[in-house]
């Protein structure tokens, strides 16, 4: 199987750069599995785990929104924030989940509601990625 270069970049740093066999992301229009020689595209991503296949192994990262860009040379995921499983603080993610759930239960303000929903999605993605590693 041919490989391609995958980079995952946040405003702070490049958190991943490796030759991979496949990357699977949750795009705005649904799941997207990308292999080498995929046609070029740019599309927004949802807050969700990104699954990578490399050398018969599976890597998973928590990626929080942003975009994926597929070009001839490489695939770049540009996200607001993203974490490798080992960098995720599970207690912080659980606390963020509870905070977001409390805010969602209190449905007064529409903007706060949307913000709490996104915070909840980030926390759930972090918890899922961390638990898959353990
Ligand atoms: P919190 O409410 O706990 O700050 P958040 O979802 O609002 O969570 P973000 O704004 O997405 O946090 O991220 C801010 C920075 O903190 C980013 O660099 C992100 O990678 C990091 N971060 C957030 N939550 C965690 C976590 N549970 N473990 C490790 N790093 C985290």
Checking if the pLDDT of 106 tops 90, the result is no
26-68 pLDDT, tens digit each = 998 899 999 999 999 999 999 999 999 999 899 999 999 899 9
- Rounded Cα distance, 68 and 23, in Å: 11
Site to probe by mutation for ligand 1, drawn from 83, 99, 133 as the one with most ligand atoms within 8 Å of Cβ, is 83
Decide: 128 and 49 in contact? Cβ < 8 Å: yes
116-129 pLDDT, tens digit each = 999 999 999 999 99
What mean pLDDT comes out for the span 5-17?
Answer: 96
What mean pLDDT comes out for the span 100-113?
Answer: 83
Whether residue 69 is found in the same domain as residue 101: no
What mean pLDDT comes out for the span 82-105?
Answer: 95
Whether residue 95 is found in the same domain as residue 41: no
Whether residue 63 is found in the same domain as residue 99: no
Ligand 1-lining residues (CB < 6 angstroms): 64, 81, 83, 87-89, 92-93, 96, 119, 122, 126
Domain containing 108 equals 89-133
Whether residue 97 is found in the same domain as residue 58: no
Whether residue 51 is found in the same domain as residue 76: yes
Whether residue 42 is found in the same domain as residue 63: yes
Whether residue 73 is found in the same domain as residue 109: no
Give the position of tokens 């080498």: 36
Could you tell me the pTM of the whole model? 0.91
For 71, the 3-state DSSP assignment is coil
CA 93–ligand 1 middle distance (angstroms): 8
Domain count, the chain: 2
Whether residue 79 is found in the same domain as residue 98: no
């Amino acid at each position: 199987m041919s490989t391609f270069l995958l980079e995952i970049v946040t405003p702070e740093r490049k958190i991943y750069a490796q030759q991979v066999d496949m990357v699977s992301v949750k795009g705005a229009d649904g799941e997207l599995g990308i292999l080498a020689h995929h046609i070029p595209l740019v599309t927004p991503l949802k807050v969700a785990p990104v699954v990578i296949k490399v050398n018969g192994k599976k890597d998973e990262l928590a990626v929080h929104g942003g975009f994926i860009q597929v070009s001839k040379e490489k695939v770049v995921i540009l996200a607001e924030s993203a974490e490798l499983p080992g960098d995720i603080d599970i207690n912080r993610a659980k606390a963020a989940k509870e905070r977001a759930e409390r805010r969602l239960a209190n449905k007064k303000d529409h903007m706060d509601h949307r913000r709490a929903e996104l915070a909840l999605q980030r926390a759930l993605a972090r918890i899922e990625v961390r638990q898959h590693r353990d």
